[in-house]
Chains A and B, each alone.
Chain A
């Protein structure tokens, strides 16, 4: 599935993603369409933390995608939620 796609994210100083490496291809984030956050279910996981979500337009010379990516404070990891437009 798309969620299993390999993802690396480069952020600016504010922690906002500026580029992603998706399936070994580097894409520049040209537009943030939406940003939101959500709490994880701390009462189930036992750890309190947030997940931050970005819906972004990521482009290279050959390719343009709209993806949702997520940063999890607990696992300190980025993950791809879904590809919306490819």
Chain B
């Protein structure tokens, strides 16, 4: 017999359990256990992954919930937490100690009861984090679920009263009368006789002592109650006890102290059968009674073991009821499926698709008809017709809402999806495959992703909710797990590090996993140089940080995943209130798929909003209605813009790498754009697909085809495997398998454990079809290295559409397009770079104006030359970008326009004083007072008077103040603010330098320096000789560390000098000396070697990077020659060092360390199944100290920009990085 643990908390008992459900199951299997329960505290969020692991490891799963129960009030000390101290971080106590009971599910009704109770307590805790459920709540849940069979509630739930229950408190508090009353209340109210759980953690005293267990057991025996043995498990091994102590402190926001932690021993671990048998003997002091206790535990476990298929409907798919999809009624909560619904849904799908086919004039196109029939057959075989109809209905509704919509992902490969109007891409035109999206062989459910305008996302969610009701729709959850920064913050507080130390430590680390904290410290030069290494007790802190790795810490609403089901959804998944009361499940996207819930990803895409804004502006200013979804895809001007690499603001092709790639690739068609987007992915870049592709495309090299049979598949990409669809076709051609099977093989290529199986099949079948071994060998090598990295062509095609549309709009309506980009900020760059782009395009940037500025950026005609019939456009700055301004204030301001004076504005706009001050500081009244002699300082004084006057009038009951009808001259003689002060204000309040470029304050210095060194602007970069050393200066606008093929961490830095972007790549050898400046400074001067490639491709390999301010100060104090000499020496040293590194590969450890950027000779690498290695620090923001954002004034004095006050980030950082 193996012991079944019946009370086990995992990490999904947030900040209580210290083990993941899947780890529990593996450990149980290793111990030879055959049954195991998961009973998380007040929730069942870990249930799906627990069940999944149990199925994999053949363990009988038991599910329960360790529920906080409201005290009956009979005990004098009604709540065990009454004496708890206040949290150290302030606020209300987050974790009161509640009385608890474990409720174990029996069968389908039991699972539904757990779901219902989890929903109830989760919803209650949305408003009060310390909510509990009463016995009456539990009774009500059961009645609701089993209206007819309520008398046999114990067939659905087993109530286990653990040592944390009120019953145990009554027994141990020598109040047997109350204990009996509690048992009676459970029996009478819920209809279940509780089982008494006894536990000994061998504590000296308290509910987990052996004495307490003996008392509880004795009471149970004396009153004829069934008893079982549990261990209240919350971590895996005895050594993990300290993690529970840390979690106790973290949960309570209190430092670790004997008074605060809930355990005095480390016994709450997954003990094996022998250890539990020993505990049974220790408690009972009687072998026979011990055996009986263990047997009763085993019997109870057996009666609660769940069958995932019958009890949890594991793998069953629930689609919305057909009547709901065909009816005009919007909400029906009690609809049931009718017999024959599946056939009716299929018939309806066919009708809709064939009708669309006719409308498109494709009904006589044999290929189109055949493709439709094929797809309809697949959908019919899988029974997914209702899903397609539901998504089509949602898309219709989204369009009715006025939002732009497009499909993304593999669903774009489905002709049916196109015919239903879900996708705008015809898959037949681009050779897209349905099998990449859906096939009878796919184990996973179909997943259609649709893009909508980002600012309409919640509107769309609510539209879906209105249509299907909360009974059928819920957002998917997203589980935020402990990574290094949060772990440091929580553990640091628990171990009583000071707030300053904690903050310095946490922000010093990149956004890596908590378990990698020590490796990062050893690997990254900028971390080793940091002062954090001097802190005491770091070892202990890091031990605890590592222990928290990957444990769930927070649950949030997924930004796009929505599940759609039938009206039984709430009986199968707990649903909690989310943002704007939108229902959210407790399960994440993987869990819902296992539960057979079909998901629709509704992604808010800023570019779609930017396109909408652009179209509105075009209509408003140019009086032209552009149907962007129907513009021809062969516009010469659009492709010329893309080839010129002036693509800032355009979807997908604005990043430094993409600008370089489009410069090399020179796209001339939609197909070229699709290829471009597919090539610019981590996989293709890492496996260097780009070089052979460009060689083939530009005719530098003859395309290489490994077999003539593959020419038709690979000719579109010059012999290079770029798309998933090509991999599928190669498998299909060479092995004779179906495309559906081919997609399974393609998927299996990506994992080392399945790759060898595919290899065997490929070799056997390809050789069987007569291909020579040498050909099979070569094709396999290509598939292996390229296949797992290729990109889904359907996805790329879906992306290429907004790419082309955005480039088209930038080409033909640049001012309107830039206004859309500035309003919705869809790209990676800060708005200040987009402002520069507008200026470079000849568009005026019009300052904020209280009478003209609106919520968003507006295009205005600034010059209308009737003689030449030409107009010049400008973009008016938006009110929404001002720091601290509220939507209500903006609405008030725009509603009251125009204003005649500051007092008129103050009287009618009803804004706060800081907002009015900010508007004055930003020059929003300058136009109004242009004819007066008042400057911004005068206006600030006037405002102060107005505020005082208002306060007096309000105090005296008068509601109005006198209004100056005109903006008159009220100069006080104060000087106007300087240019530098203006820019500083703009950066602080808008995050943009509007009136002057931040670099302009250094122009004199740079002009002097350019006489000594070759200083090059972005505009002149193309004129430089490839291989020459060039110096550049600018404002940092982006820093990225994407994965590269070499496995190195390469820092890609983009600067803006006012004439355009400058892109530099800093390799590891340079980072040793310059990482700190590269990652943390704002205004910099760089040196590097210019590299030209392709028609317009240009980049710089960085040799050095210095803070401009530092160089300026050296020049100021020691002369410009000192600066130039210093720079030249540094560059020379770097070049010499590079030569040495290339020549001497077997150098000393110090030199090796320098070559690897100080990352040590044994640098860690992440290995992919294809054999490629990448740096573990790719795509993460490296460690750093706060940035230096000071600029100099006209008088040479520093102005430090207040980092904490900045409304927007001044530069873009890699994905995965956060904070400043």
Contact = CB atoms under 8 A, between A and B. Distances in A.
A79 to B, nearest CB: 16
Interface string B241-263: 11001000000000010100001
B495 A43 contact: yes
Nearest to B249: A43
Given A36-B209, A38-B265, A53-B204, A48 B258 contact: no
Given A46-B540, A50-B265, A39 B241 contact: yes
Which of A36, A37, A48: most chain B Cβ within 10 A? A36
Nearest to A38: B264
B463 interface: no
A38 B204 contact: yes
Contacts of A38: 203-204, 264-265
- Chain A's interface size range is 10 to 19
A36 B210 CA distance: 8
Interface residues of B, number: 24
B10 interface: no
Given A43-B245, A43-B540, A48-B242, A36 B266 contact: no
Interface string A27-65: 000000011111101110010101001000000000000
A36 B282 contact: no
Nearest to B205: A36
Interface string A7-39: 000000000000000000000000000111111
A48 B242 CA distance: 7
Contact of B202 (A36, A41, A42): A36
Nearest to B246: A43
Contacts of B539: 46
A41 B260 CA distance: 12
Given A46-B540, A48-B241, A53-B204, A39 B265 contact: yes
A35 B282 contact: yes
B267 interface: yes
Nearest to B256: A43
Contacts of B267: 37
Contacts of A34: 204, 210-211
B202 A37 contact: yes
B258 A41 contact: yes
B1023 interface: no
B239 interface: yes
Nearest to B211: A34
A42 B539 CA distance: 13
Nearest to B204: A36
Contacts, number: 47
Interface string B794-823: 000000000000000000000000000000
A50 B266 contact: yes
Contact of A36 (B203, B238, B258): B203
Contacts of B265: 36-39, 50
Contacts of B258: 41
Contacts of A48: 239, 241-242
A39 B540 CA distance: 16
Nearest to B208: A36
Contacts of B495: 43
B435 to A, nearest CB: 54
B515 to A, nearest CB: 18
A43 B259 CA distance: 13
A52 to B, nearest CB: 8
Contacts of A46: 537, 539-540
Contacts of A36: 202-204, 209-210, 265
Which of B241, B263, B537: most chain A Cβ within 10 A? B241
A35 B266 contact: no
Contacts of B238: 50
A3 B238 CA distance: 28
A42 B242 contact: yes
B801 to A, nearest CB: 57
A37 B203 CA distance: 6
Contacts of A43: 245, 256, 495, 540
Contacts of B537: 46
Contacts of B201: 37
Nearest to A55: B204
Nearest to B241: A39
Nearest to A32: B282
Which of A34, A39, A42, A43: most chain B Cβ within 10 A? A43
A69 B1161 CA distance: 52
Interface in B500-545: 537, 539-540
B487 to A, nearest CB: 16
A24 to B, nearest CB: 30
B232 to A, nearest CB: 15
Contacts of B239: 48
A78 B511 CA distance: 46
Contact of A35 (B210, B263, B264, B540): B210
Contacts of A42: 242, 245
Contacts of B203: 36-38
A34 to B, nearest CB: 8
A43 B878 CA distance: 53
Contacts of A37: 201-203, 264-267
Contacts of A50: 238, 265-266
Nearest to A51: B265
A13 to B, nearest CB: 13
Contacts of B245: 39, 42-43
A48 B264 CA distance: 13
Nearest to B496: A43
A12 to B, nearest CB: 13
A83 B924 CA distance: 85
Interface string B1074-1103: 000000000000000000000000000000
26 contacts: A34-B204, A34-B210, A34-B211, A35-B202, A35-B282, A36-B210, A37-B201, A37-B202, A37-B266, A37-B267, A38-B204, A38-B265, A39-B242, A39-B263, A39-B265, A39-B266, A42-B242, A43-B245, A43-B256, A46-B537, A46-B539, A46-B540, A48-B239, A48-B242, A50-B266, A53-B204
Nearest 6 interchain pairs by C-beta? A36-B204, A37-B265, A37-B202, A43-B256, A48-B242, A38-B264
Interface of B: 201-204, 209-211, 238-239, 241-242, 245, 256, 258, 263-267, 282, 495, 537, 539-540
Given A37-B202, A39-B241, A43-B495, 16 more contacts: A34-B204, A34-B210, A35-B202, A36-B203, A37-B203, A37-B266, A37-B267, A38-B204, A38-B265, A39-B245, A41-B258, A42-B242, A46-B540, A48-B241, A50-B238, A50-B266
